[in-house]
Structure 1
Amino acid sequence: MPQSLPDTHRFRLRELREDDAAFALALLNDPGFLDHIGDRGVRDLDQARAYLRDGPIASYARNGFGLWAVEMKNDGRLAGMCGLVRRDLLPGPDLGYAFLPPWRGQGLAREAARLCLDHAFGPLALPRVLAIVTLGNVASRRLLETLGMRLQGPRTLDGETLLVYEIDRPAAKESAVAG
């Protein structure tokens, strides 16, 4: 059963499904995604369905979180994805996001990332969230810093040097979880 996820007046976060394959195919092959996140080798709808099934959908069952669809409320279109990823290479879950070109520059990534952090520190009760970003992705670095994430420095992951950011659960959330 899909979990209840937060929303804003503009969009809702929801679990990705295999029928989101056309969206995933477009996003995973967008030049910005390829430059800043990487090539996932997804070239057709069957590979996109497999990516969704083996990635985000499997993560919901395994971790209780994953990348979620950012679905616009006014027309149901998918603008991007945002959520939490558990990687073996990192000591904790990391925040990830990507948006299709028509949706960039509208503050959606910041809103969605804030919702994901609130969900991480609230219902999921995570103690810390990380984020990784390529050295040249200045826009994402700026976004992570506006969210209150602190640069921990460069780290080589899978042969690539990435910047690692982190944010700890706020003290108020710590008290609420303990009480």
Structure 2
Amino acid sequence: MTIVITTDRLQLRTITSDDAAFYLALVNDPAFIENIRDKGIRTLEEARTDIVNGPVANQEKIGFSLYVVERKEDGQAMGLCGLVKRESLKNIDLGYAFLPQFLGQGYAREAARATLAYANTHLCISKLAAITSPNNLASNKLLQDLGFQLEAVVVLAGESRDTNLYGYEF
């Protein structure tokens, strides 16, 4: 586990297979399933496998991934925030998801803002994408508040529903 980003209240760190219980809860949260997708992960072992084959492999292969967002004061894992390279998008994607009890407290905004700074200063990325469900009003508002511009409504490869595609340039 490596701490990658810190803010006043948060630390963002690499995810490990030890985070399987947290990850399992997050990907099975009804809002995650509705607004992102149902990953079909139902057991701790499936969660461990997805962590290793997803974020851990990406971190090793391309140098970034989704990070566990923890509260500094107590180390409580609250959500994920980081960068994703999707085959279906031209630009690297800012992604985030939080457990419901941590919404509405500014944690997603703080983590996303710090991730934007990290992408630009440490990874020298000049343009990012972000995607949301058109119905996810809170996420759409957050992206707009961060300076993302809605570029198009698209249907991503392998999906059947509309997705808002945002762009951000440093």
Q: TM-score scaled to structure 2, two decimals?
A: 0.96
In the aligned structure 1, how far is the partner of 2:17 from the partner of 2:122? 25
- Aligned counterpart, 1:94: 93
Mapping of residues 1-179 of structure 1, within 5 Å: 2=2, 5-157=4-156, 158=158, 159-169=160-170
Deviation, 1:86, is: 0.5
Indicate the SS of the match to 1:115.
Answer: helix
Q: TM-score scaled to structure 1, two decimals?
A: 0.91
Paired residue total: 168
Deviation, 1:160, is: 2.4
**1:13-53 CA deviation, whole Å, 9 max, x = no partner?**
00001000000000000001011001001100000001110
- The sequence identity of aligned pairs, in percent, is 44
Deviation, 1:136, is: 0.3
Indicate the SS of the match to 1:80.
Answer: strand
Q: Runs of 4 or more off by more than 6 Å in structure 1? A: none
Indicate the SS of the match to 1:32.
Answer: helix
Superposed CA RMSD: 1.1
In the aligned structure 2, how far is the partner of 1:78 from the partner of 1:110? 16
